Chains A and B, each alone.
Chain A
Amino acid sequence: MFLIVAWITYPPLHAQINVSNQLNTIPENFSQYADFYIKDVTSHQGFAYLNSFSTTGRVLGQWELDFSLKLGSGLSQELFAPEFGENFQLTGGMPTLFGTEEPGKLYFQFLDEETGVPIVNPFSGEIIGFGLPLFPGLGTSLGFSPAVMPVLSLGIGYGTEISFGILPGAIKLVTNTIASDFSINKDITTTFGIRHDVFYWLPALHDRKFNLSLGVQYNFLNLGASIGPDLIGNIDQPSSDKFEVAYNLTGLTYKSSSMGFEAILTKKFGFLDLSLFSSYNQIHYQVNSIGGVEVKVAKSFYSNIASGYDTYSFNELIKVDQKVNKFIFGLAMQFNLGRFNIDLKAAPFSGHYYALGLGFQMLKEK
């Protein structure tokens, strides 16, 4: 109070508010939030695709051809809430993509860098900062990562099988009505893999209907989405004469590539293949925003009418680049009914990954 006026007379010595440094923390913190928001999908979807790809250790014979529809799902777990920096405070709810509650706001506020206390507008007493609105949730009760893929598999001889699946536009088809002002522009998912039955070389086991396939699989997903202004609420600007903050976020891109190494040990009992499996998988996903946020800060707070602004643009408001590794193991069953087969696969102990497959053997050895 009193000596503040002394600092007016004599140069200030202590406290600093480095506007640029403090504002520059916005993308990092908002990216943490964005990663949290979609992590139910991003950190599991690749595993769901890979896990649903093969459901028995028995590989196709030479020139046998199988067409399957694979359905997989990863149930979300181990979601870590972001730890925002000192300049940020969350008010209200922070739903995930599947969340049900109303989204709140992530408040940015300038802090005095020595004491850590937020500063206020000297004339209005309001915190000098603004609230960025958060994304709404879909309103479901369950967070999960779906995976759908038609797969063609071909036996190429010597106990070896190659598989390939591709599905363009499926996510766009099922998500375009989930929210206003949100649309998928493009999406393509592809998976391919190769595996070999080791017991092919061990007739003693192979003849007793044991199989041990070792395979490698790769999944790639590329998605682009548009976001309109109605999806996101208004920016809260209590000290609006000291700030002009505007979202220019128009879209998101999402790329995910996953690779897995899988071993499946199978024993065939009549029409039933019973298997134990384990796999080591890695997802690498990247999420980037198209556009971001622009902040104009008044050059002086000691004027009731701002006489000018400095502009700070953050066009990469969201930049997420994460890798997730996971070891999965579980049980699988395949029911073989003539040329048809039904597959079930579950990895309940090392995550929550489930798969269902419906297959038809188009070409079969005689």
Chain B
Amino acid sequence: MKTTLQKPATWLLLGLGLIFTSCHSDILVIERLPSSYDANLFMAVYMTEMDFKEGTNVIPHYYQDQSFYFVFDTLLHFDNDWDYWDHQVAPVQNKGLFFDVRNKEGYSTWSKPWLTLTSDNGIYLHDEYTPATDGYDYFFQWSGALMTPPAYLHLCLNSWDENPTGQVPSKTWKVTRIYDENENDLTTDPDWTNYEDNVVTFEKGTRFILELGNKRSQKELDLFKDESSVFGTYSVSKAGEIVSLNLVFPIISGNSNDNNPSWMSKLTVVSSSWTSLSLKGELAGKKGTLELVPIN
């Protein structure tokens, strides 16, 4: 960051008073995304994870010369290079800023929306003059964008640019079909039947709610007693062409408290859209596919 500290006028002020308060706006500049940019790209930036989830307190921005300019009312310290008068304010969140970026194809930043504003992760700081603000600003290039497969948006939203304000968007799915590799129905299979009336809601972020339904296995009864629903967390990942949905319940019980497992299930996303979801998994050595549709 280029500071004004070296300028003689600043020294004069320093000698006179040594007391400053900062009240200017800062500009964060992100260059046009080279490969995944779309004219209808949805982009919103937030200071906190909760704002990211609820779509609140979005940082105002404008588009100019193929770059996004984000305007901050409060002084931020993206590069950790502070001047002495900056110490009255806090640095940015430790995870940086939260970027909600999506395109029409459903690719997004949701798997890792936060960007630590350092030279890591393809973000580079430049000292450059910014004509738009007539001064030196914080300038970043962002090269690692929109790597999250569309399944993530499909799980939670009804359209690629849906962004309700003040509430965490979510979407509820129910099972419509369970079948094996030969397309034989598994709803009467003793290992699979209890999933038939399961309903799951995926929230933007990482939380899901599982409604257990009336059909329950003995293990479900042991763990969840008569609870009608339980919470867990999920993530969507991609390895090669394989998209996985990872579902996690915490388990902190057992023989060793220093090695407590949580339960995670890694399901393969066979296909996904705004109106359908097909997941493949294996249970008791038997492969099965679950088809789900959203319910309102």
- Residues A2 and B88 in contact, CB atoms below 8 Å apart: no
B125 interfacial by beta-carbon distance below 8 Å: no
Of the residues A9, A20, A100, A352, contact of B88 by C-beta under 8 Å = A100
- Residues A98 and B88 in contact, CB atoms below 8 Å apart: yes
A338 interfacial by beta-carbon distance below 8 Å: no
Q: Which of A109-117, A163-171, A193-201 contacts B (4 or more CB under 8 A)?
A: A109-117
A177 interfacial by beta-carbon distance below 8 Å: no
Across-interface contacts of A125 in B (CB, < 8 A): 207, 209, 231
B262 to chain A, nearest CB (A): 4
Chain A residues 292-341 with CB under 8 Å of chain B are 297-302, 310
Across-interface contacts of B232 in A (CB, < 8 A): 1, 4, 119-120, 122
- Residues A12 and B267 in contact, CB atoms below 8 Å apart: no
How many chain A residues have a CB neighbour from B under 8 Å? 74
- Residues B198 and A14 in contact, CB atoms below 8 Å apart: no
- Residues B257 and A19 in contact, CB atoms below 8 Å apart: yes
Chain B residues 62-97 with CB under 8 Å of chain A are 77, 80-95
- Residues B82 and A78 in contact, CB atoms below 8 Å apart: yes
B258 interfacial by beta-carbon distance below 8 Å: yes
Interface SS majority for chain B = mixed
How many chain B residues have a CB neighbour from A under 8 Å? 77
Alpha-carbon gap, A75 to B10, bound state (A):
14
Nearest residue (CB) in A for B5 is: A77
Alpha-carbon gap, A201 to B88, bound state (A):
51
Across-interface contacts of B158 in A (CB, < 8 A): none
Q: Which of B27-35, B101-109, B242-250 contacts A (4 or more CB under 8 A)?
A: B242-250
Q: A117-B233, A141-B20 are in contact. Are A17 and B262 (CB under 8 A)?
A: yes
- Residues B260 and A120 in contact, CB atoms below 8 Å apart: no
- Residues A7 and B265 in contact, CB atoms below 8 Å apart: yes
Interface SS majority for chain A = loop
B120 to chain A, nearest CB (A): 10
B59 interfacial by beta-carbon distance below 8 Å: no
Across-interface contacts of B234 in A (CB, < 8 A): 117
Q: A2-B198, A141-B19, A301-B253 are in contact. Are A120 and B90 (CB under 8 A)?
A: no
Of the residues B84, B118, B191, B252, contact of A300 by C-beta under 8 Å = B252
A20 to chain B, nearest CB (A): 4
Of the residues A12, A75, A90, A310, contact of B261 by C-beta under 8 Å = A12
- Residues A99 and B88 in contact, CB atoms below 8 Å apart: yes
Nearest residue (CB) in A for B192 is: A2
Nearest 3 A/B pairs, CB to CB: A15-B264, A81-B91, A3-B265
Q: Give the interface of A toward B (CB within 8 A).
A: 1-10, 12, 14-21, 40, 75-84, 88-96, 98-101, 104, 110, 112, 114-125, 128, 137, 140-144, 297-302, 310, 348, 352
- Extra contacts, 8 of them, besides A9-B191, A40-B87 (Cβ < 8 A), are A2-B195, A14-B266, A18-B260, A19-B252, A98-B88, A141-B88, A297-B257, A302-B251
A-B contact pairs, 10 of them (CB 8 A): A2-B283, A3-B247, A3-B282, A5-B194, A9-B191, A10-B284, A89-B49, A115-B237, A119-B250, A142-B18
